[in-house]
Chain A
Amino acid sequence: DTEVTQTPKHLVMGMTNKKSLKCEQHMGHRAMYWYKQKAKKPPELMFVYSYEKLSINESVPSRFSPECPNSSLLNLHLHALQPEDSALYLCASSHASSPPQHFGDGTRLSIL
Chain B
Amino acid sequence: AQKITQTQPGMFVQEKEAVTLDCTYDTSDPSYGLFWYKQPSSGEMIFLIYQGSYDQQNATEGRYSLNFQKARKSANLVISASQLGDSAMYFCATRGFQGAQKLVFGQGTRLTINP
Contacts and interface: CB of A to CB of B under 8 A. Distances in A.
24 contacts: A2-B44, A31-B101, A42-B91, A42-B105, A42-B108, A43-B91, A43-B105, A45-B103, A48-B100, A56-B100, A56-B102, A90-B45, A96-B101, A97-B97, A100-B50, A101-B103, A103-B37, A103-B47, A105-B42, A105-B44, A106-B43, A106-B44, A106-B45, A108-B43
Nearest to B49: A100
Interface of A: 2, 31, 33, 41-43, 45, 48, 50, 55-56, 88, 90, 92, 94, 96-97, 99-106, 108
A99 B100 contact: no
Interface in B36-87: 37, 42-47, 50
A31 to B, nearest CB: 6
Contacts of A96: 101
Contacts of A45: 102-103
Contacts of A102: 47
B103 A88 contact: no
Contacts of B42: 105
Secondary structure class of chain B's binding surface, majority of residues = loop
A99 B33 contact: yes
B35 interface: yes
Interface residues of B, number: 21
A94 B102 CA distance: 11
A99 B43 contact: no
Given A48-B100, A106-B44, A108-B43, 16 more contacts: A2-B44, A2-B46, A31-B101, A42-B106, A45-B102, A48-B102, A56-B101, A90-B43, A99-B33, A99-B35, A100-B35, A101-B35, A103-B44, A105-B43, A106-B43, A106-B45
A96 B97 CA distance: 11
Contacts of A88: 43
A2 B95 CA distance: 22
B10 to A, nearest CB: 11
A90 B42 CA distance: 12
A96 B35 CA distance: 17
A41 B108 CA distance: 8
